[in-house]
Amino acid sequence: MKHWQLNTEANGIAIAVLDKAGDSANSLSAEVMAEFSQLLDQLDVYPPKGLIIRSGKSAGFIAGADIGEFSQLDTPEKGLALVQRGWDLFNRLESVKYPTLALARGHCLGGGLELALACRYLLAVDESGTKLALPEVMLGIFPGWGGMSRLPARVGPAAALDMMLTGKTIDAKRAKKMGLADDCVPPRVMEMAARQLLLSGQPRRSLPLMQKLMAGPLKGIVANGARKQVAKKARPQHYPAPYAIIDLWQKHGGNALAAPQIVDGIIRSTTARNLVRVFHLQERLKSFGKNSTFTAKRVHVVGAGVMGGDIAAWCALRGLIVTLQDQSLERISPALQRAGKLFARKLRDPLKARAAFDRLIPDVRGDGVAHADVIIEAIFESVEAKHALFSSIEPRMKPGAILATNTSSLRLEDLRTVLKQPERLVGIHFFNPVAMMPLVEVVEGEGADPAAVQAACAFVRQIDKLPLPVKSTPGFLVNAVLAPYMLAAMRAVDRGVTPETVDEAMLAFGMPMGPIELVDTVGLDIAMAAGKQLAGGADAPRCLLDRVEKNQLGKKTGQGFYAWAEGRATKAAPGAVPEGLAQELVTPLIDRVEQLVADGIVADPELADGGVIFGTGFAPFTGGPLHYRANRVQ
């Protein structure tokens, strides 16, 4: 076979190894699935004592179905045929007479997890790369190969719906704890453990009584609760897939073939096609920096404010040794406190959180500069202050180190005039909150060293962010397109539309947050300063000026357009949304995106769409602002 290897050991155990030809990661294409069916045919003739299914790739077990095949699902018939293929094959795998085991090392996602769930046993390998998930909802589709029935049977309906409706990943230890994996072992013993578990005859852990009730008499209550939770984040006209998952589980036992009308609705929706497009845009962003051999071990961050401190914490979380510099320990202390909370929340292991905290080192004197592979300046927006800092840092940097600024609005050409090697300065522009925003703009000034830009992209990928190369211009891409959008929103408030109604218009459009709440979150003083630079000399909206004069600066002062308490805005009910308001507000944003592409600030429309989606949260189901406009015109 082209993709599978089947060997039978002397003890009678068969080992099926998937090593998809021509790809760095395994995916379940039609050809791979057909070969697996042939493999089961062989084992029907010569039944083994047991079957272990594993990967031949270092990247992981199976990344899911072949994404490319989704793009070809242009009719309901093709969609049903795809579902039928996997449904029948994995039901066949589940029903074989001999015990089966999936050895999940590395990513085990989507169809890969559905295959593993069809095995009698699932053994998860305890290492950092092992992640199990059913992320189909992120692509606007659903787990159609048995996952919607088998996952709830293993972990209970509540945990299963949580996984399927969010696409969240589960590590090996968590998988064992919740019953998704039968065991979790370190790599050094996985071969022996797999064989022992396969032949153990060990029964699967039974669900607790309450979970059985939730899968039976209480099923409707669970489903209605899930719908309410989904409705808080996704509207059915924008994202039909999560609602389809709930309906298929509740009414059809997870069998999509029993509800062809639901499959038809997903296939006819543009959401799935656009979300697959967004997936490809994300993969393209991930590719930047791959040609660079640069790898960082130490990072030095200057400026322990909210941005600098959170950048330092994120780098430490991702395994780097980080020195954080500011004028005193008192200034650094709040950043360390926030970092401790981040590590506890993300790592959920006291020992790992302690290790991450130990990697984050206060450094008032700036001794870390000489040892750092990456130096990131994150002080206040003053050309003079940054000049003084760069003049001090450059003589102490080691050769080959990246010198970066996190400036959000200043031109690199203006900042690097004091450097003896001005071409080495790059922008590495993070967004707030650092831990949540996936995009990082990598800014290239005129005459910059291409190797330094590539190294910066490689560093951004190293810390698990998405690098977007942009040219140096005020606001770059993300801030430059947000400025006219927020300005238009505040103009609407000036003419009497309530902030709540403005926000509701854009939430209904599909934005994750309304523009007025966004202004409050960013800070009205920041919005004022950015507006002066990015709004082309337009007068500031009266509603903004009035609040800034009263020091009502938004979330950070507890009052802006909204009153804030415990990090949440207090909002009145929105009024009736005026017809055309959403288009009025989004048009200046899209116009600015088009202009930035035309000016060469971003290389092409696809990258611009990806940058605006991952940098602003622009409604992903639209495929991005330029894609949205092009298809709307058609």
Catalytic residue of the set 35, 114, 377, 500: 114
What span, in angstroms and rounded, lies between the C-alpha atoms of 54 and 73? 29
Six-digit token pair at 613? 């989606």
**What is each CA distance from 549 to 198, 518, 543, 554, in whole angstroms?**
71, 19, 10, 12
What span, in angstroms and rounded, lies between the C-alpha atoms of 330 and 333? 5
* 563-565 and 50-55 beta bridge pairing: unpaired
Residue 255 — φ and ψ, nearest 5°? -95, 100
Catalytic residue of the set 16, 65, 181, 619: 65
Q: How many CA atoms lie within 13 A of 111 on its CB side?
A: 24
Report the SS3 class of residue 296. Answer: coil
* Among the listed residues 320, 349, 631, 591, the one whose alpha carbon sits nearest the alpha carbon of residue 464: 320
- Run of H or E residues at 251: helix 240-252
Q: Is 225 marked active-site?
A: no
**What is each CA distance from 600 to 84, 444, 608, in whole angstroms?**
46, 12, 11
Q: Is 136 marked active-site?
A: yes
Report the SS3 class of residue 34. Answer: helix
- Strand runs (DSSP E) across 9-99, as ranges? 13-18, 50-55, 60-62
Asked whether the beta carbons of 357 and 345 are under 8 A apart, the reply is: no
* Among the listed residues 569, 584, 586, 599, the one whose alpha carbon sits nearest the alpha carbon of residue 628: 586
Q: How many CA atoms lie within 13 A of 53 on its CB side?
A: 29
Q: How many CB atoms lie within 10 A of CB 280?
A: 14
DSSP 328: -
Catalytic residue of the set 16, 116, 136, 569: 136
What span, in angstroms and rounded, lies between the C-alpha atoms of 374 and 440? 15
Asked whether the beta carbons of 393 and 379 are under 8 A apart, the reply is: no
* Among the listed residues 413, 406, 384, the one whose alpha carbon sits nearest the alpha carbon of residue 299: 406
Catalytic residue of the set 50, 106, 111, 309: 111
Amino acid at 200: S
- List, as one string, the DSSP characters of 143-171: -TTTHHHHHHHHH-HHHHHHHHHH---B-
**What is each CA distance from 450 to 285, 454, 487, in whole angstroms?**
17, 6, 35
* Among the listed residues 365, 361, 366, 301, the one whose alpha carbon sits nearest the alpha carbon of residue 336: 361
Six-digit token pair at 499? 């902030």
Six-digit token pair at 600? 């060469």
Asked whether the beta carbons of 322 and 300 are under 8 A apart, the reply is: yes
Instruction: List, by residue number, the catalytic residues.
Output: 65, 111, 114, 136
